[in-house]
Structure 1
């Protein structure tokens, strides 16, 4: 993984429940193993279990990483559980790529407005972002046809307004002009802003 190699960090990635090898519930305390479906409840439950595994001490079966050394990352649909984790915990930072405000508003953005009202609501990133208390990096392509860049602009505004003191000064919004939802320059559109954000929140240099 290029992010892992470039930043010299450990990466633990969670697949959406019900996809690929992730067919069964992560065993967390007294929970029983069960067949998974890709729904918001299972996604949230397993995302929380993964986060707990990362920050729990080894004697409790975790990896033992300090929460202040943990950065949560989510892209597209993954920005929902990522924002939820950051809202309910205290990671060092949050990185969102091609984020949405709500699934319903995505549907309203790309289809007729009334269609959005028949779409089930799942993760509400607007509500989560209002509770996030860590530095946030948002990357969103100006030419994204699936999730308009305005979604990230609104979330960025919410995050910056809700964070007190100088915390909001660490927040960064990048909108590469030629980036779409699935087409982008990995090095310039993603890695460069990610590396700069990572170095700033870990004190290697101040944001500018």
Structure 2
């Protein structure tokens, strides 16, 4: 999945270029999609103007279960360092009552980003899968403001 992120980004650039688009490019990762977004943002891929993380956290969580404990710890440390190293503009959108990663995890992730241009939006009373239902206007206003700032 992570190796494919750069390939997909390049294919997207080709398609956008063929249609005459030459404006800013942002990557977004929702929940598990954050892995690909972190990969692209941490690699500082040229031409990416920012990253949006929705309902994410800065850890691998249960995905290291079953591994040798030392190997799992090493993977987790590398992943956290990659997530924290993001220096391009960042927007984090998270639900106040999300339990899949709790809000506290998103707040820690947000705090750890080295980017000086970062913003976090918490959608009140929203969980993991109802952000749009609970805060449609706030959600899209945050994205619009981020992209056009």
Q: How many residues align?
A: 135
Distance 1:99 1:187 in 2: 18
Structure with the higher strand share, 1 or 2: 2
In 2, are the aligned partners of 1:83 and 1:129 still within 8 Å (CA)?
Answer: yes
Partner secondary structure for residue 53 of structure 1: helix
- Residue 146 of structure 2 is matched in structure 1 by 197
What is the aligned counterpart of 2:28 among 73, 79, 95? 73
- In structure 2, the partner of 1:53 is 11
1:142 and 2:89 are equivalent in the alignment: no
Give me the CA root mean square deviation.
2.5
Structure 1 gap segments, 5+ residues each: 1-42, 57-61, 108-115, 201-208
Structure whose CA Rg is larger: 1
Unaligned runs of 5+ in 2: none
Greater relative contact order: 1 or 2 (C-alpha under 8 angstroms, separation 6 or more)? 2
* Aligned with 1:181 (options 124, 128, 136): 128
Secondary structure of 1:181's counterpart equals: coil
Equivalent residues in 2 for 1:24-103 (5 A)?
A: 43-55=1-13, 63-64=16-17, 69-88=24-43, 89-90=45-46, 91-103=48-60
Superposed structure 1 runs of 4+ greater than 4 Å apart: 119-125
In structure 2, what is the Cα distance between the partners aligned to 1:52 and 1:127?
Answer: 25
3-state secondary structure, aligned to 1:48: helix
- Which position in structure 2 is the counterpart of 1:172? 119
2:85 match: secondary structure: coil
Report Cα offsets for 1:162-194 as digits up to 9, x if no partner.
Answer: 23xxxx1x3100112211001123523421211
Shift of 1:73: 0.6
Structure 1 residues 85, 142: CA separation in 2 closer, same or farther (over 3 Å shift)?
A: same
Q: CA deviation at 1:117?
A: 6.4
Does 119-128 or 143-152 show the bigger shift?
119-128
More helix by share: 2
Instruction: Tell me the TM-score normalized by structure 2.
Output: 0.77
Per the normalisation by structure 1, the TM-score is: 0.57
Is residue 107 of structure 2 the alignment partner of residue 153 of structure 1? yes
